[in-house]
């Protein structure tokens, strides 16, 4: 039943909604920040001293949530299930979703709240309520915000914990022969100390961890692609040739919409960059920026780094070593590791295993924060946060022991439904987003 439902939510409705809303917002905002890139770059390069969470720190916290399994297992999974053409649809979904990431961050910063210590917080749940209050439908707003919060908590425990830790455990078992339960116990103990530390402490950690792990991963990928440069043209040709080949059903518009490449490329791209689904605004709302539009610029950069840059190099490394796709079709993390090791040797496999650990751990920390913020929206009782923190630690432990195959369907369903809710609210708030954009650019 869930697979059938996902066939429509993930295979038809979500890709259509992302493409339609992305193109619609590009037209409605007249290109928005994408047509003012010099001003965007100047704003991002301007660094102001602050005692709070800087826009860059908020970005690294959001990137910690996206630079994980989506860049390694998600890309490998997309290629294995949707063919090389899935990468084309990851690019398309990322390009149109950039403007959606900008729009949702603008809305989150404008509708955020401030706690007793003066620290800002917010996210989709708050602007969902505010937008529906303004539309004189407060009950509908509260129901949708609560549904969104529950789905986000479910996604935090599945995508943010189980799937991430399973990838880490498989990597260490496959490369070092370490029993999966050992990896699970170690990560669980670490999470006991870090989960619930608060956004300031978590963003302090990600500000140092994210640039380090991103730079190391790019250097390793560049080494592989330089050594296998002769295979890159063929890999790129395969991406474009396979992009429009329906594999699920034949012919017509329905065949295109149910194309496995479209489905897996769009959904794995969404899982990677989270644009349009309403989760990253939780991190960006904590920034001490005074301009919603300027914080939205960092959202554009977030999608570019995550999907256009990191997912692309991962995909090319796999496609220049096509034999690993068939050999590891059911194990995305080992497919990626094997592709790097085939060119650079066993040392690269060890490096990749550590990279998977850093990527996965950063994502667990970030998503635990997303879930905690949704718990705070639903109830202010301290006991609820305690129960949630215990659930996160148990999910981390279970992630090392359980096969997450069925959880991909649950994750796709949750993130797809969250996206449909969030995009509906962005559409209702389109004038507000346009006003903020015009105020900044003087349109």
Of the pLDDT bands very low, low, confident and very high (cuts 50, 70, 90), residue 229 is very high
Specify the higher pLDDT residue, 443 or 387: 387
Range from 34-43, 321-330, 380-389 carrying the lowest mean pLDDT: 321-330
Contact 1, 409 (CB under 8 A): no
Residue 98 CB neighbour total at 10 angstroms: 27
Helices and strands counted in the chain (H then E) = 24, 2
Average pLDDT, the chain: 82
Residue 132 pLDDT greater than 90, yes or no: yes
pLDDT class of 2 with cuts at 50, 70, 90:
low
CATH number of the domain at 2-37+62-441, please? 1.20.1740.10
Contact 112, 122 (CB under 8 A): yes
Dig out the tokens for 46 from the structure: 């301007």
Higher pLDDT, 270 or 188: 188
pLDDT at residue 205, rounded to an integer: 82
Alpha-carbon distance of 420 to 269, in angstroms, equals: 16
Is pLDDT of 271 > 60? no
Amino acid 354: pLDDT: 87
Name the more confident of 5 and 398.
398
Cα–Cα distance for residue pair 197/229, rounded to 1 Å: 45
The pLDDT of residue 307 is: 78
pLDDT, average across residues 227-252: 73
Kind and range of the H or E element at 121? strand 120-121
Tell me which of 18-22, 76-80, 280-284, 302-306 is least confident. 76-80
- How far apart CA 358 and CA 353 sit, in angstroms, is 9
In the chain, domain spans: 2-37+62-441
pLDDT tens digits, one per residue of 401-410: 776 666 667 7
Q: Are 57 and 236 in contact (CB under 8 A)?
A: no
Structure token digits, residue 74? 């998600």
pLDDT at 285 (0 to 100): 93
| 96-110, 134-148, 396-410: least confident range | 396-410
* Burial of 168 (C-beta count, 10 Å sphere; 0-12/13-18/19+): buried
């Amino acid at each position: 039943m869930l697979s059938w439902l996902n066939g429509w939510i993930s295979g038809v409705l979500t890709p259509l909604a992302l493409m339609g809303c992305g193109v619609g917002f590009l037209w409605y905002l007249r290109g928005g920040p994408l047509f003012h890139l010099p001003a965007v770059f100047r704003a991002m390069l301007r660094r102001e001293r602050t005692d709070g969470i800087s826009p860059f720190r908020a970005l690294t916290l959001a990137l910690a949530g996206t630079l994980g399994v989506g860049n390694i297992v998600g890309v490998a999974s997309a290629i294995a299930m949707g063919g090389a053409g899935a990468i084309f649809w990851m690019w398309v979904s990322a390009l149109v979703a950039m403007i959606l990431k900008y729009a949702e961050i603008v809305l989150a910063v404008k509708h955020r709240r401030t706690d007793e210590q003066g620290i800002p917080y917010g996210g989709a749940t708050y602007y969902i309520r505010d937008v529906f209050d303004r539309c004189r439908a407060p009950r509908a707003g509260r129901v949708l915000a609560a549904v969104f919060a529950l789905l986000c908590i479910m996604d935090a425990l599945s995508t943010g914990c189980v799937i991430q830790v399973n990838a880490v455990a498989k990597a260490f078992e496959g490369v070092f022969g370490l029993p999966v339960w050992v990896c699970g116990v170690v990560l669980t103990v670490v999470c006991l100390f870090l989960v619930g530390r608060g956004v300031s402490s978590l963003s302090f950690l990600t500000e140092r961890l994210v640039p380090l792990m991103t730079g190391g991963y790019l250097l390793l990928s560049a080494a592989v692609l330089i050594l296998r440069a002769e295979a890159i043209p063929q890999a790129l040709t395969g991406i474009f040739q396979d992009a429009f080949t329906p594999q699920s059903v034949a012919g017509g518009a329905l065949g295109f919409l149910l194309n496995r490449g479209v489905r897996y490329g769009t959904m794995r791209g969404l899982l990677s960059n989270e644009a349009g689904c309403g989760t990253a605004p939780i991190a960006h709302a904590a920034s001490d920026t005074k301009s919603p539009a300027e914080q939205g610029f960092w959202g554009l950069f977030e999608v570019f780094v995550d999907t256009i840059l990191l997912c692309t190099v991962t995909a090319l490394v796999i496609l220049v070593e096509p034999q690993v796709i068939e050999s590891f079709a059911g194990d995305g993390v080992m497919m990626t590791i094997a592709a790097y090791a085939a060119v650079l040797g066993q040392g690269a496999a060890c490096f990749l295993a550590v990279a998977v650990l850093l990527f996965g751990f950063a994502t667990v920390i970030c998503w635990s924060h997303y879930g905690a913020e949704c718990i705070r929206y639903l109830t202010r009782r301290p006991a609820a946060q305690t129960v949630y923190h215990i659930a996160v630690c148990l999910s981390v432990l279970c992630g090392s022991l359980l096969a997450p195959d069925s959880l991909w369907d649950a994750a796709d369903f949750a993130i797809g439904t969250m996206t449909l809710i969030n995009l509906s609210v962005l559409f209702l708030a389109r004038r507000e987003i346009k006003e903020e954009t015009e105020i900044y650019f003087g349109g």
